[in-house]
Amino acid sequence: MSRPTSMLVITGPTASGKTRRAVDVAYALDGEIISADSRQLYRGMDIGTGKDLNEYADIPYHLIDICPAGYKYNLYEYLRDFDIVYKDIKTRKKFPILCGGTGLYVESVINGLRLPEVPENVELRKSLEGKSLGELTEILSSIKTLHNITDVDTVKRAIRAIEIQYYYNANPDKAVATKPVPMQDVVIVGVDIDRENRRNRISARLRSRIDGGMVEEVQQILNSGVNPEDLIYYGLEYKYLTLYVIGKISYSQMLYELEIAIHQFAKRQMTWFRGMERRGFKINWLPWDMPKDDFVESVIKLIER
């Protein structure tokens, strides 16, 4: 290679085939994959998060199945764990490939953002009990600019976001523990899929996952003792399937609303990626249906520039 590349990022919207692409490239570059998916972290949440672990074959992967369902993993923990995995991969002379569609994780990693751990504020949480999601969103909007819509996906997320912002406001010196040091020589590849194919793949994949036991997976997680509200916290499949399993909505309503929610989620992902480009990140978009060898060759050329 003409110059060192510290890391390759393969990202894109849901159902674009990122994992398969990352695996193909990992074989060519003696690489290991670091997940940038905020829900594949959880054990037992397999079908709904689309882990498809068989796709990795014998390529090592990291930051998948690292905490139990019901846990509230956060950005601070992700950045901490990413550092550990990244350094280990580099120490072993392997090539790190960050793969996933959680734009907040991807951008934060590349920016070198590192955050302090924010402790629980029991008094504040009690004062927010009983407030609606709309009220919590209004409170959060009054103390910070809402860049990340997932902060207000659910009541519990909104309360945690308020808790974090209160902590930062009270401890401005700790809002960023260290000055961000952006990563150098990172190549970002986006898997580009047009809207129509993306929607078709999302719809087909949803039905396949339902047929493949996704409802039973949610029931099993609930049976293991996870509170329904804790599962709803994760949104998308786990929100709507939990509501169905506990009898809050019908099967047809679940399927209809979930499909719409996934399409909206993919749209928000693309909005994030476009925002990254406006913020100065170069995303090299390659067609989702590009032949495997051509895709790998194109990525290698980008790395060797």
Task: Give the pLDDT score at 145.
Answer: 67
Nearest to 202 by CA among 290, 296, 284, 288: 288
The CATH class that applies to domain 7-115+185-304 reads: alpha beta
HSE of 76, CA atoms in CB hemisphere, 13 A: 14
Amino acid occupying residue 170: A
Task: Give the pLDDT score at 1.
Answer: 43
**Which of residues 148 and 59 earns the better pLDDT score?**
59
Task: Give the pLDDT score at 115.
Answer: 74
Predicted TM-score of the model (pTM): 0.82
What's the rounded Cα separation, in Å, for the pair 189 and 186? Answer: 10
- Mean pLDDT within 107-131: 88
Positive or negative CA dihedral for 208, 210, 212, 214?
positive
| Cross-strand pairs, 43 | 68
Domain ranges in the chain are: 7-115+185-304, 122-174
Mean pLDDT computed over every residue of the chain: 91
Order of strands across the sheet that contains 61-62:
61-62, 31-35, 95-99, 7-11, 186-192, 283-287
Task: Report how far Cα 216 is from the mean position of its chain's Cα atoms.
Answer: 23
DSSP codes joined into one string, 193-259:
--HHHHHHHHHHHHHHHHHTTHHHHHHHHHHTT--HHHHHTT-HHHHHHHHHHTTSS-HHHHHHHHH
**C-alpha dist (Å) from residue 28 to 100, 134, 164, 298, 300:** 19, 49, 42, 12, 9
Instruction: Report the range of poorest mean pLDDT among 10-14, 74-78, 189-193.
Output: 74-78
What's the rounded Cα separation, in Å, for the pair 126 and 108? Answer: 31
Confidence check: pLDDT of 3 > 80: no
Nearest to 233 by CA among 45, 36, 34: 45
- Render pLDDT for 167-178 as a digit per residue (tens, 0 to 9): 878 877 665 555
Cβ neighbors of 301 (< 8 A, separation 6 or more) are none
- Render pLDDT for 58-98 as a digit per residue (tens, 0 to 9): 999 999 999 999 988 888 889 999 999 999 999 999 999 99
DSSP codes joined into one string, 75-88:
HHHHHHHHHHHHHH
